[in-house]
Amino acid sequence: MAREKSRKSADSNGNAVTLKSVAAHVGLSAGTVSAVLNDAPSARHIPKQTRERIIAAARTLDYRPNFFARSLRKRRTFTIGVIAHEIGDGYSSSIIAGIESGARQRDYFFVTGVHRHDNDLFDRYTRLLLERGAEGIITLDFNLGHCLPVPVVAIPGHTDHEGVTNIVLDHRHAAELALKHLVELGHRQIAILRGHPESADSNYRWNAVEEVAQDIGLELDPDLVIQIDSQESTPVLGYPYGKQLLERRRPFTALFAYNDISAIGAIRAFQEAGMRVPEDISVVGFDDIPAAAFHHPSLTTVRQPLRRMGEIAVEILIARIEDGNVWRREVPVQPEIVVRESTAPGPLS
């Protein structure tokens, strides 16, 4: 088997198989073979039988195109940049998994950086990525303050800049799903964990919560609304704020958290205080990261299609790179509620 593989990946002299090797094998010019293997417009004028013979020969010889030669010839790098708040947290990693899948299917590379909601750090990584030939940029959880010299897709995006496509969740519908679920279970005293002010969705999600609460006649107690001011990307994010809610000694039977990580941290604080979830306090998270289904109790949450958002971003960005005249300012995505073990009917007064 090893001998056969060696034969296929080298010519009769033991050298790596080149375009000229394939051309010699089929008895055609290197230009004709190149046109077929690179799917050039001129290949349409080559008879189908000849094209199939060239492709079959390339497979038999295990011909592997030289990426750098292709890049130089087309003046392309086939590289995109991804700048996220974090890389290893459940939110970003789910989106990046979608980006990886989409980029791989289109033979693109992607290079990542982190911004940690720091404008200077974001600008630094943007500059580094552009210097290394990134043909487009995808941002994760960042309030983009200006346009860039390459196509950009923002996940999520809420600012209107030339050349930037915003992928936007319907936050009003998301708030409706969460609050109506809790109200239908009999909860009226609902605590809220607001997102960090620098998080791209924070203000939009909070505004949606206020609007929906007013529409359904739900009064939000200001003492039960806690502002997250931590940049943590682990359950530590929600743990101290869960303790703060209990320390305020304001009665509440449910919590709607900014994201799943803060919800899981708050649940830990409640359990340490002897409170049961969901018997004493129901909890709803946001995002549906992989850990949400395996936490105990499993977390009821508003699901964002995170992986699909990454795939959509790549589709849009590469289309923009390869046809710069076509771009969309906004692409909406819809949430759904996933009901698990962390919510139950409100306790009787």
Instruction: Quickly tell me which residue has 């198989």 as its tokens.
Output: 17
- At 176-203, the pLDDT tens digits run 999 999 999 999 999 999 999 999 999 9
CATH H-level, domain 75-169+306-333: superfamily: Response regulator (3.40.50.2300)
Nearest to 289 by CA among 262, 269, 266, 321: 262
What residues form DSSP beta bridges with 155? Answer: 140
Among the residue ranges 46-50, 59-63, 166-170, 280-284, the one predicted with the least confidence is 59-63
Higher pLDDT, 77 or 204: 204
**Confidence (pTM):** 0.79
Has residue 218 got a pLDDT over 90? Answer: yes
Query: What's residue 131's pLDDT?
Result: 87
Taking the domains of the chain in order of start, what are their residue ranges? 2-65, 75-169+306-333, 171-304
Can you tell me the distance from the alpha carbon of 188 to that of 10, in angstroms, rounded to the nearest whole number? 73
Query: What's residue 4's pLDDT?
Result: 36
Angle, helix 48-60 to helix 30-37, in steps of 10 degrees: 90
Higher pLDDT, 347 or 317: 317
Can you tell me the distance from the alpha carbon of 73 to that of 83, in angstroms, rounded to the nearest whole number? 28
Instruction: Give domain 171-304's CATH architecture.
Output: 3-Layer(aba) Sandwich (3.40)
| Mean pLDDT, all residues of the chain | 89
Query: What's residue 8's pLDDT?
Result: 41
- Integer CA distances (angstroms), 202 to 120, 205, 228, 265, in order: 21, 5, 10, 18
2-65 and 171-304 have identical folds: no
CATH of 2-65, one of 1.20.1070.10, 2.30.40.10, 1.10.260.40, 3.40.50.10420: 1.10.260.40
**Mean pLDDT, residues 311-319:** 95
Query: What's residue 110's pLDDT?
Result: 93
Query: What's residue 70's pLDDT?
Result: 58
Can you tell me the distance from the alpha carbon of 67 to that of 262, in angstroms, rounded to the nearest whole number? 44
